[in-house]
Chain A
Amino acid sequence: MLALEALHKRYGDVVALDGASLAAHRGRILGFLGPNGAGKTTAMRSVFGLVSLDDGTTAWDGEPISPASRLRFGYMPEQRGLYPKMRVADQITWLGRLRGMAVSDASEAARHWLGRLGLANRLDDRVEHLSHGNQQRAQLAASLVHDPELLVLDEPFSGLDPMGADAMADILRDRAESGAAVVFSSHQLDVVEDLCDDVAVIADGRIVLDGTIEGVRASAPKRRLEVAFADPTIIWTPPIAAEPSRNGRGVQAWLIPADADPGALLEDAGGRGRVTQFTFSPPALSEIFREAVQ
Chain B
Amino acid sequence: MTGFQATWLIARREAKERARSKAFLASTVVTILLLGAVVGVMALTDTGPPQYDVALVGDSPPGLSGALDAAAVASGSLIQFSDLTDREAIADAIELGELDAAVLDGDTILLGSSPPSTLRTILEFGLRQSRFIERLEAAGLDPATVTTLVEPDRGIRIVTADEDEQSNEGIAFAAIVLLFLVITTYGQWVLMGVLEEKSTRVVELVVSSTSVRSLLAGKVIGIGLLGLAQLMLLISLALSAGWIFELFDLPGGTAATVAWSLVWFVLGFAFYAALNAAAGSLVSRTEDAQAAAMPIALVAVASYLLTFVVILPNPDGLVARLLSMLPPVAPIAFPARIGFSGVPLWEILFAAGIMLATVVGVIRLAARVYAGALLAAGGRVRILDAWRAAAELTAGR
Contact = CB atoms under 8 A, between A and B. Distances in A.
A9 to B, nearest CB: 10
Contacts of B395: 52
A99 B1 contact: yes
> Taking each of B10, B209, B393, B397, which has the highest tally of chain A beta carbons within 10 Å of its own beta carbon?
B209
B42 to A, nearest CB: 38
Given A77-B205, A100-B1, A49 B393 contact: yes
Contacts, number: 76
B9 A73 contact: no
Q: Is the interface of A mostly helix, strand, loop or mixed?
A: loop
B201 A80 contact: yes
B142 interface: no
A292 interface: no
A215 interface: no
B198 to A, nearest CB: 9
Contacts of B202: 81-83
Contacts of B397: 49, 67
Interface in A74-100: 75, 77, 79-86, 94-95, 97-100
B137 to A, nearest CB: 79
Contacts of B196: 83-84
B205 A70 contact: no
Interface string A62-73: 000001101101
B204 A81 contact: yes
A110 to B, nearest CB: 14
Given A52-B395, A85-B17, A79 B9 contact: no
A53 B13 CA distance: 32
B209 A77 contact: no
Interface in B84-140: none
Contacts of A234: none
B223 interface: no
A52 B392 contact: yes
A203 interface: no
A180 interface: no
A97 B210 CA distance: 11
B9 A52 contact: no
Contacts of B375: 50-51
A130 to B, nearest CB: 13
A50 B1 contact: no
B389 interface: yes
B310 interface: no
B255 to A, nearest CB: 38
A99 B208 CA distance: 10
B354 interface: no
A12 to B, nearest CB: 11
Contacts of B13: 86, 94
Contact of A81 (B9, B201, B396): B201
B82 interface: no
Interface residues of B, number: 28
Given A81-B200, A100-B1, A142 B205 contact: yes
A236 interface: no
Given A98-B6, A98-B9, A52 B396 contact: yes
A75 B209 CA distance: 9
Nearest to A75: B208
A82 B200 CA distance: 7
Contact of A82 (B1, B205, B211): B205
Contacts of B145: none
Contacts of B17: 83, 85-86
Nearest to B394: A52
Contacts of A75: 205, 208-209
Given A83-B17, A94-B13, A70 B208 contact: yes
Nearest to A128: B200
A68 B1 CA distance: 8
Contacts of A48: 207-208
B200 A50 contact: no
Given A94-B13, A98-B9, A98-B210, A71 B201 contact: no
Interface in B344-396: 375, 389, 392-393, 395-396
B45 interface: no
Interface in A88-139: 94-95, 97-100
A77 B9 contact: no
B209 A98 contact: yes
B259 interface: no
Interface in B179-222: 196-197, 200-211
B148 interface: no
B210 A83 contact: no
B160 interface: no
Given A52-B389, A53-B396, A100-B1, A71 B209 contact: yes
7 contacts: A70-B209, A75-B205, A80-B201, A81-B202, A81-B205, A82-B205, A86-B13
9 pairs of A and B residues whose beta carbons are closest in the complex: A81-B201, A52-B392, A48-B208, A100-B1, A81-B202, A79-B201, A77-B204, A81-B200, A75-B208
Given A50-B375, A83-B17, 9 more contacts: A45-B204, A67-B211, A71-B1, A75-B209, A77-B201, A77-B208, A81-B205, A83-B197, A83-B202
